[in-house]
Amino acid sequence: MLRLSWRILTKIKMVKLIFPQEIEVWYILPAIRKKIALKLVERGLAQKEVAELMGVTPAAISQYKKQKRAKEEIFDVGMEKELERSIEKIVQNKNSLGEEIIRLNQLLKEKGIVCKIYNQVCALQKSKNCPYCHQK
């Protein structure tokens, strides 16, 4: 489910302290945007249209397709189903994009993805409890 590239792990391990919110910005949100973008393109929307909808460049969509951006895979089978629900809502109402990104982000946090990444990359990983969710 969670595959982080060695290059990214090595780069991040040089950092002494990483806040959980940074994990969301560096890993979670890019993964969500990538998944949504690729699914919308699969549904027949043009890359340019998807880019405009998501507030990114068409080049970003192309990079998602070529696995050059947001390479980490953090979605399990359950999250893929939730993604499909989100895509249905977005196709029906493009204004729901932000709401669906927030919903998917929350679901990933509830599944402990942030904590798993945090424990892999943070200098405080020897902590008994996760400083983000306070769970063991």
71 found inside a domain: yes
58-89 tens-digit pLDDT: 999 999 988 877 777 888 899 999 999 999 99
83 found inside a domain: yes
Check whether 134 has a pLDDT greater than 60: no
Beta-bridge partners for 73: 3
Q: Are 114 and 38 in contact (CB under 8 A)?
A: no
134 found inside a domain: no
- Stronger pLDDT, 11 or 121, i.e. the higher one: 121
Q: Percent of the chain beyond pLDDT 90?
A: 49
Residue-level pLDDT at 73: 80
129 found inside a domain: no
Mean residue pLDDT of the chain comes to 82
Counting Cβ atoms within 10 Å, is residue 96 exposed (0-12), middle (13-18) or buried (19+)?
middle
Cα distance between residue 16 and residue 34, in whole Å: 28
Residue-level pLDDT at 86: 97
